[in-house]
Structure 1
Amino acid sequence: MTADVFAPLAALEGVGSAARAARDAVDVLLRDRGLRRVGADVTAEALLRGAHASAALAGSPSTLAEVREGTGDALASGAVRMTRELMSLARQADTAPVQVWTRLHQLAAADLAPADQLGHLRTSREPLPDDIPGLPPAPPADVMWERLSGLAKALTTATTAPGLVVAAIVHAELAVLRPFPVANGLVARAAERVLLVARGTDQVAVTVPEVGHLELGASYARGLTDYAEGGVSGVQSWLLRECEVVALAAERSPLNNSARS
């Protein structure tokens, strides 16, 4: 039997209670607004705002208005493309995670890389990617492949960990491993969003975690670096940060009148 690798991480001090509080924030949002009032337009708006925030974290100068009008730069366009398939990809997240990640990359990098690099997992013959500022160097390809395979196996194994813990670990692993030549940050954040939907944290995708990451952007690279280099305490800090992000994502939902732009 394959071990549940996520459960011990969810049991780290403070993580369980923080995860419950973050999930409560999402549940209150949905309960107060009523799930039957959540239309496709609200989900589309939340995903659009998330795409803009994720692109901004990746260095895009495009405004939300430009992204809404379809005139954003290549990073923003890639982020928006991912949102169009995100809900359908969520249905495959627990059975074919690698295929989900490669599809996200195909969408994210369509205007950033040659066609033969789209959905392409890097090899040892290629330079290490350095597309997420502030992180330590990406690991060699053989290390990346081993960890990516282990992550995919863990995702297809039953776990008692909350969905947001699983999503946070996948986000961090993809960001730290940087399995693709470009657009790794966009893919990592979209993969997190896919799992928040797939694991039931926000199954209708009306929270905006990418905005949470952007608003807490000063700690983003530091949090990922701590995750990569800080051992158990670094993982714990990243998971606690994720709980803060998810709670903030609920506040920034377009379901909240105060969050509407």
Structure 2
Amino acid sequence: MPSDPLAPLLELTGVADGVDRARAAVDSLLGNRTLRRRSADVSAESSVRGAWASAWLAGDEVPLEDVRSGAAAERPVVQGALRAQAAIGQLADTWTRAPRQALARLHALAAADLVDADALGRPRAGTAERVDTLTAVLGLTSAPAVVVAGIVHGELLGVDAFPPVSGIVARAAVRLTLVERGLDPKSLVVVEAGHRELRESYDSALDGYRTGTPEGTAAWLVHCADAVTAGARESLAICEALARG
């Protein structure tokens, strides 16, 4: 394994430009005045919207207001997504020190009402080696946060490592990566809503990533960068709504 196995990905077509767009969008968000006083409120709203969008992408397409009001209390996918989102702050240090442990915890939270207790926290049979390789790569790379997050997302969802909630686990791990790598330290970006906004290209980009070709990998990473950009715009809208009162 090279000293930084993800560094060559920046040379793929469109990836560096996508990273630059995403970083500029997040920087614009972080400069918003509302965050000086109400960053905790923005982060909390981002968490709710993120859980809603992640559950929606997992097939539970409930209205956001149902998530907000508690009307989705009996929907296990939504509740699992909410629990995973709520754990982001607690798991940030674990993600740095022991990412496999953090993934196990995310799966236990997201799938608690969906699978038997003895299956919680365990990768699907045949995927453990892939997950171990991913966690080893995390300790070696200093690639931009957007690239690392895209690889985390693609690896976990691409092999369906933590069914039946691999997508929810993968998208929560993206949040952890953006926090831990310093791009979005307060978990403000609603990156899940970005993927929802780009839903038409989400599945096809993931299929491209699964091929393992440079073209497929590039298309996936550009999609992920665009989702961060769109998620930052969503968070700016939250800031503006709070500023209006």
Length, aligned pairs only: 241
Structure 2 residue 197 is the aligned partner of structure 1 residue 215: yes
| Matched letter for residue 43 of structure 2 | T
Query: Residue 92 of structure 1 corresponds to which residue in structure 2?
Result: 94
**How many Å apart are 1:10 and its aligned residue?**
2.2
Query: Residue 49 of structure 2 corresponds to which residue in structure 1?
Result: 49
Instruction: In structure 2, list runs of 5 or more residues that go unmatched.
Output: none
| Matched letter for residue 119 of structure 2 | Q
- Two-structure CA RMSD over aligned residues (Å): 2.0
Structure 2 residue 217 is the aligned partner of structure 1 residue 235: yes
Correspondence 1:49-88 to 2 at 5 A? 49-72=49-72, 73-88=75-90
Do the aligned residues in 1 keep the contact of 2:49 with 2:193 (CA within 8 Å)? yes
Do the aligned residues in 2 keep the contact of 1:227 with 1:234 (CA within 8 Å)? yes
**How many Å apart are 1:13 and its aligned residue?**
2.6
CA distance in 2, matches of 1:48, 1:28: 22
1:94-150 Cα offsets, whole Å, 9 max, x none, are 221111111000000011112111112223xxxxxxxxxxxxxxxxx0xx2222111
Query: Residue 8 of structure 1 corresponds to which residue in structure 2?
Result: 8
SS at match of 1:121: coil
Which TM-score applies when normalising by structure 2? 0.92
Query: Residue 118 of structure 2 corresponds to which residue in structure 1?
Result: 116
| Matched letter for residue 148 of structure 1 | V
Query: Residue 126 of structure 1 corresponds to which residue in structure 2?
Result: none
| Matched letter for residue 85 of structure 1 | A
Match of 1:167 among 126, 133, 149: 149
Which TM-score applies when normalising by structure 1? 0.86
Q: Percent identity?
A: 44
Query: Residue 179 of structure 2 corresponds to which residue in structure 1?
Result: 197
Do the aligned residues in 2 keep the contact of 1:197 with 1:205 (CA within 8 Å)? yes
| Matched letter for residue 168 of structure 1 | G
1:9-28 Cα offsets, whole Å, 9 max, x none, are 12323211220121111111
**How many Å apart are 1:214 and its aligned residue?**
0.5
CA distance in 1, matches of 2:124, 2:18: 36
Query: Residue 255 of structure 1 corresponds to which residue in structure 2?
Result: 239
Do the aligned residues in 2 keep the contact of 1:117 with 1:181 (CA within 8 Å)? no
Task: Decide which moves more: 33-42 or 176-185.
Answer: 33-42
Structure 2 residue 153 is the aligned partner of structure 1 residue 151: no
**How many Å apart are 1:237 and its aligned residue?**
0.4
Structure 2 residue 165 is the aligned partner of structure 1 residue 183: yes
CA distance in 2, matches of 1:246, 1:37: 23
Do the aligned residues in 1 keep the contact of 2:147 with 2:221 (CA within 8 Å)? yes
Say if 1:256 and 1:246 are closer, same or farther in 2 by CA, change over 3 A. Answer: farther
Instruction: In structure 1, list runs of 5 or more residues that go unmatched.
Output: 124-140
Query: Residue 133 of structure 1 corresponds to which residue in structure 2?
Result: none
Q: Indicate the structure with greater helix content.
A: 2
| Matched letter for residue 168 of structure 2 | L
